[in-house]
């Protein structure tokens, strides 16, 4: 395909063909250091300056194995993960040269396997020390925060602080319930850090770090790490561009100071989420060493609605997470103060108003950030795309982008929350209803891109492979190798790809983790998530380590000699159909991927008015003239 760029709402290759990108995130364990940084092992993070990420996503001597497997499954694209910490963990401005060389070599080898790449600077809930991944540990010290106190203060929900590693119990729902890491967006550490990162100049104008406002300090260092990577991969033509920042938080922007979000309101239409409910004032109080009593949301089994189900006492030990004893930056800004052992709100609208004007997070903070990121990478190479993302909770409630730079891609994420959150999928559910629901939801994501005049690539979607209590792993351990082991997974994935075919959406599935294990404690090596399409524990089977391969290794039009009108795959009959409006000005042929998982001998491709030839798993179709080209692969 050569270089892939955008034209309006489509991807185009250097021959002028419309391109569909079907790929995978590589990989889930890139969030943690190599080799012993996974959350399945205890850590106090004291070695954060000495860690190394060389070996994530895999050691170089395994690169051709993994990349060849991905290409063999029919993928043509990678969302390649790195983190700010991986690049700049040793200290401000100290970039890990060995890691940069390693990462560039992974990208180069991906090109040898015909895989397009975009670089994702990944984060989840700010940092490893606050329950996720992303920012280096020294950033907390620069901000005046002591991450060693986060657990005692209850200021972050961190597996390493809560999990009993001496216990043989793999899942400890009473201590660290599954999929609860995302609660951290509401906790004090994330509130402080995201507010400073995006809106420090607005809300805390006198908070200076290193001689400049905290917002500039943080964003300058983040973009500096990004530039360091960009300079190493600038000469590799299979690099399409950079992600702006994975699933960025909004901090307290737009929230009233003492309001706890226990129900959706016109001002904040987001549905309340399970777990403790924090107001910004609660977060500031706990960070300053004051205790708090919080409502806890839970699902009412009768109404199926989120209700206040309990209370939680936080920071009973009055642990302060600020390094200094005096007023914190928000107290110095006149937003709040402690009085008589209680938090007192001084400006209820401190995070809602900028002077006399109500803040608009997407336009006021996200749009300038994306413009600065774009400028940073395009100073290195001017034709790179920006894969832009919003706060995922904002995107889910219909928020669109502010002004996007030219050459941007709508790279927001989509998951079936029922499958992801409950880790269940009913193979007997009505497939047509589920498919229609997926089409509706994904159509809403695509609409965000169309309103911005940008192509859409779903940057993340996928399923947990430990569905239904890990029953597939138990069957595998018993020696079962028949297709029904992965029946639920294949059906769920097939319905998701059906929806993307119907909408002609590009995507990168979450994820491929080279170190994945069939272990409820380990999974992808991060917070007990287990969404990898590959596991070493599956290598004894017929699909070379793949899980539910027939659910994702599907036929598709990867390049069209004109415009793709439609494509569909009937996974019950194994028949693929597509229609292309041929543009005679485009001389390169259309290319159809026929993965061996479905077409071990290539299948039979029928079409009228075109020349057809097969090269491995690729069918090349050269139209003889303009008009509608109809394809049938079986």
The single-letter DSSP state of residue 133 is B
Scanning 204-336, the segments in alpha helix (DSSP H) are 214-233, 280-287, 329-332
* Closest CA relative to residue 50, chosen from 99, 116, 111: 99
CA–CA dist 515, 508 (Å, integer)? 19
Identify the CATH homologous superfamily for domain 556-633: Golgi alpha-mannosidase II (2.60.40.1180)
Summarised one tens digit per residue, pLDDT across range 272-301 is 889 999 999 999 999 999 999 999 999 888
* Closest CA relative to residue 527, chosen from 152, 49, 190, 133: 133
CA–CA dist 425, 486 (Å, integer)? 11
Scanning 128-270, the segments in alpha helix (DSSP H) are 138-143, 150-153, 159-162, 188-203, 214-233
CA–CA dist 377, 381 (Å, integer)? 6
Summarised one tens digit per residue, pLDDT across range 398-424 is 678 888 999 999 999 999 998 998 899
Mean pLDDT of all residues belonging to the chain: 95
Summarised one tens digit per residue, pLDDT across range 52-108 is 999 999 999 999 999 999 999 999 999 999 999 999 999 999 999 999 999 999 999
Q: What pLDDT score does 299 carry?
A: 87
Residue ranges of domains in the chain: 4-251+357-552, 275-350, 556-633
* Closest CA relative to residue 45, chosen from 185, 190, 158: 158
Topology of the domain comprising 4-251+357-552: TIM Barrel (3.20.20)
First to last CA, the chain: 25
Report yes or no: 180 and 275 within 8 Å, Cβ to Cβ: yes
Phi and psi at 610, nearest 5°, equal -155, 155
CA–CA dist 95, 435 (Å, integer)? 46
Summarised one tens digit per residue, pLDDT across range 332-351 is 999 999 999 999 999 999 99
* Closest CA relative to residue 321, chosen from 527, 130, 160, 131: 130
CA–CA dist 115, 109 (Å, integer)? 9
Residue 303 predicted with pLDDT over 90: no
The answer to whether the pTM exceeds 0.75 is: yes
* DSSP assignment string, 435-497: HHHHHHHHHHHHHHHHHTT--BEE------SSHHHHHHHHHHHTT--SGGGGHHHHHHHHHHH
Pairing label, strands 506-512, 457-458: parallel
């Amino acid at each position: 395909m050569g270089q892939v760029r955008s034209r309006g709402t489509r991807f185009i290759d250097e021959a002028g063909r419309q391109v569909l990108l079907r790929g995978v995130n590589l990989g889930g364990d890139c969030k943690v250091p190599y080799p012993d940084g996974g959350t399945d092992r205890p850590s106090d993070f004291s070695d954060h300056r000495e860690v190394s990420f060389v070996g994530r996503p895999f050691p170089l001597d395994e690169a051709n194995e993994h990349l060849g497997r991905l290409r063999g499954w029919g993928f043509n694209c990678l969302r390649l993960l790195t983190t700010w910490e991986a690049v700049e963990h040793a200290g401000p401005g100290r970039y890990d040269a060995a890691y940069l060389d390693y990462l560039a070599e992974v990208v180069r080898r991906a090109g040898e396997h015909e895989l397009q790449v975009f670089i994702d600077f990944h984060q989840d809930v700010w940092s490893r020390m606050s329950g996720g991944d992303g920012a280096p540990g020294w950033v907390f010290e620069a901000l005046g925060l002591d991450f060693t106190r986060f657990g005692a203060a209850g200021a972050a929900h961190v597996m390493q602080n809560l999990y009993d590693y001496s216990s043989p119990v793999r899942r400890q729902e009473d201590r660290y319930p599954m999929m609860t890491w995302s609660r951290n967006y509401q906790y004090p550490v994330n509130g402080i850090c995201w507010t400073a990162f995006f809106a420090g100049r607005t809300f805390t104008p006198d908070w200076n770090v290193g001689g400049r406002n905290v917002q500039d300090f943080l964003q300058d260092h983040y973009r500096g790490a990004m530039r360091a990577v960009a300079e190493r991969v600038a000469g590799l033509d299979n690099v399409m561009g950079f992600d702006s920042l994975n699933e960025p938080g909004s901090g307290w922007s737009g929230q009233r100071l003492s309001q706890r979000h226990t129900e959706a309101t016109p001002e904040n239409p987001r549905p309340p989420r399970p777990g403790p409910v924090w107001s910004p004032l609660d977060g500031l109080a706990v960070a300053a060493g004051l205790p708090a009593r919080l409502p806890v949301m839970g699902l009412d089994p009768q109404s199926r609605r989120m209700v206040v189900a309990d209370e939680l006492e936080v920071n009973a030990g009055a642990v302060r997470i600020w390094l200094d004893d005096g007023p914190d930056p928000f107290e110095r800004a006149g937003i709040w103060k402690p009085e008589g052992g209680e938090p007192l709100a001084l400006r209820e609208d401190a995070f809602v108003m900028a002077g006399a004007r109500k803040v608009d997070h997407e336009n006021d903070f996200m749009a300038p950030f994306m413009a600065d990121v774009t400028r940073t990478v395009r100073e290195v190479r001017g034709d790179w795309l920006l894969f832009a993302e919003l706060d995922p909770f904002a995107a889910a409630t219909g928020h669109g982008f502010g002004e996007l730079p030219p050459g941007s891609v709508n790279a927001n994420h989509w998951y079936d929350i029922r499958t992801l959150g409950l880790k269940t999928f009913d193979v007997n559910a009505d497939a047509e209803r589920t498919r229609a629901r997926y089409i509706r939801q994904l159509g809403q994501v695509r609409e965000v891109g169309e309103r911005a005049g940008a192509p859409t690539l779903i940057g993340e979607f996928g399923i947990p492979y430990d569905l239904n209590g890990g029953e597939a792993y138990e069957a595998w351990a018993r020696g079962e190798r028949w297709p029904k082991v992965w029946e639920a997974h294949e059906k769920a994935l097939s319905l998701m790809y059906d929806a993307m075919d119907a909408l002609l959406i590009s995507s990168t599935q979450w994820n491929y983790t080279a170190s994945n294990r069939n272990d409820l404690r380990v999974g992808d090596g991060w917070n007990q998530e287990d969404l990898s399409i590959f596991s070493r524990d599956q290598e004894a089977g017929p699909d070379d380590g793949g899980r539910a391969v027939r659910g994702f290794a599907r036929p598709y039009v990867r390049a069209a000699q004109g415009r793709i009108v439609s494509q569909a795959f009937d996974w019950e009959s194994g028949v693929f159909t597509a229609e292309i409006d041929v543009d005679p000005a485009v001389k390169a042929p259309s290319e159809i991927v026929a993965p061996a998982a479905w077409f071990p001998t290539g299948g039979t491709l029928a079409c009228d008015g075109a020349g057809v030839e097969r090269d491995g798993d690729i069918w090349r179709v050269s139209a003889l003239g303009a008009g509608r080209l109809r394809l049938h692969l079986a």
